[in-house]
Amino acid sequence: MMDRQQAREIAGNGLWRQNAGLVQILGLCPVLVISSNIVNGVSLGLATSLVMLVSGAAVAALRQFVPNELRSPIFILIIAALVTVVDLMLNAYVHGLYLVLGIFIPLITTNCIVLARAEAFASRNGVAQSALDGLMMGLGLTGVLAVLGALRELIGHGTLLSGIDLVFGAAAADWVIHVIPAEAHYQFLLAILPPGAFFGLAFLIAGKSALDRRAARRVAGPEVMAGSTTVGRG
C-alpha cells in the first residue's frame, strides 16, 4: 500500500507538475474540440477521469500477466474494452447524464493520455497508486478544460456556465452568468471556433511556465536561475 507522502506526490504530479494538458501536452484532440464552454469541458474531464481511474487499476492489476513486448496492444485492448463498458453502464443506469456525456465518451478512446499513463505509470506501480494516478491526471486535465472553457466562453459569448441546464435540468437555466448582458448580443467568433482553443491553450501553458519559473527563482535564489531561461520540452 502507499503512504501519505507517496499519495501526495502522485496527486501533485497529476494536478500540477506533470499536468496532462499543460506539461505533457497529451490528449489535445478532445481538449481543443470540447473546451468551448465550462460545462462541456468539465463533463468530458470527469468522464475521462473515471475511465483513467478504472483503466489504471486494471492495467496495474494485470501487469504481471502482460509480456513486455505485447504491452501496447494489450493496454489498448484493456482501455477500449473499459471505455465500452463505462459507456454501456452510464447509458443504462444514469441515462440523463449519458445524454450529456454520451457524445464525449468515444472521444476518450482517442485520448492518448489514457494509454500514456498505462504505459508510464500503471505498468510499473501498484493497483491503488495507479488508480490514484489515473484519477489525479484526469482531474488535472479537468482543471485545464474548465479554465480554457471559461476563457473561451467569456471572450466568445460574455457568459459563464452556459448549458448548465443540460446537466442539472431546466431549473438550472438561471445559473448561467451573463457577464455581458444577453441583450447586447455580444460575440467574438474566433474564441468559440477551434483557433480560439489553440490561442487559449498557448496562454495557459505560458502562464504555468511563468508561475513555475517564479516559484523556482524564489527557492533557488536569482543567481542560479540566471542561466536557464528555457522551459521547452522535446
Partner 1 sequence: MKHAAANSVRGALTLLVFALVFTALMSGTWWLTRDIVARNEQASRVALLAQVLPAFDNDLLADAIVLPAADAARVGGERVYPARRNGRVVAFAIEATAPDGYSGAIRLLVGVDRDGRVRGVRVIAHKETPGLGDYIDAAKSTWSDQFDGKSLDRPAASAWAVKKDGGAFDYMAGATVSPRAVVKAMKRALELVREQQAQWIATKEQQ
Distance separating alpha carbons of residues 211 and 214, to the nearest angstrom:
5
Neighbour tally for 134: CB within 10 Å: 31
- Give the C-alpha separation, 218 to 47, whole Å: 37
Residue number, 103 or 211, with CB nearest to partner 1: 103
Q: Output the smallest distance, CB 136 to partner 1, in A.
A: 25
The residue within the footprint of partner 1, chosen from 134, 149, 156, 200 (CB under 8 A), is 156
Q: What pairs with residue 160 in β-bridges?
A: 177
User: Does residue 67 interact with partner 1 by CB under 8 A?
Assistant: yes
Closest CA to 154 of 65, 19, 38: 38
| Residues in Cβ contact with 24 at an 8 Å cutoff, skipping those fewer than 6 apart | 18, 113, 116
Please count the other Cβ atoms lying within 10 Å of the Cβ belonging to residue 138: 27
Using the rule CB under 8 A, which residue among 26, 78, 114, 132 binds partner 1? 78
Q: Binding residue for partner 1 (CB under 8 A) from 89, 120, 215, 220? A: 89
**Residue 110, interface with partner 1 (CB under 8 A)?**
no
Q: Cβ(150)–Cβ(38) under 8 Å?
A: yes
- Residue from 69, 174, 183, 223 in contact with partner 1 (CB under 8 A): 69
* Shortest separation between residue 74's beta carbon and partner 1, angstroms: 5
Closest to partner 1 by CB, 89 or 211: 89
| The three grid cell numbers given for residue 39, joined into one nine-digit string | 460545462
Asked if 189 is part of the footprint of partner 1 (rule: CB under 8 A), the reply reads yes
Count of CB atoms situated within 10 Å of the CB of 213: 14
29, 88, 180, 206: residue in contact with partner 1 (rule CB under 8 A): 88
Cell representation of residue 118: 498505462
74 binds partner 1 (CB under 8 A): yes
What grid cell was written down for 167? Answer: 446537466
Rounded to a whole number of angstroms, the minimum distance from the CB of residue 67 to partner 1 is 6
Given the rule CB under 8 A, which of 24-32, 74-82, 122-130, 142-150 is the region that contacts partner 1?
74-82
Show contacts with partner 1 in window 35-64 (CB under 8 A).
36
**DSSP H helices in 94-188:** 95-101, 105-109, 112-117, 127-157, 165-168
The region, left, alpha or beta by phi > 0 then psi within -120 to 50, assigned to residue 19 is beta
C-beta of 228: minimal distance to partner 1 in Å?
Answer: 42
* Residue number with CB closer to partner 1 (70 or 224): 70
Task: Please report, as ranges, the residues that interact with partner 1 according to CB under 8 A.
Answer: 36, 65-67, 69-70, 73-74, 77-78, 81, 84-85, 88-89, 91-93, 95, 98-99, 156-157, 166, 187, 189, 192-193
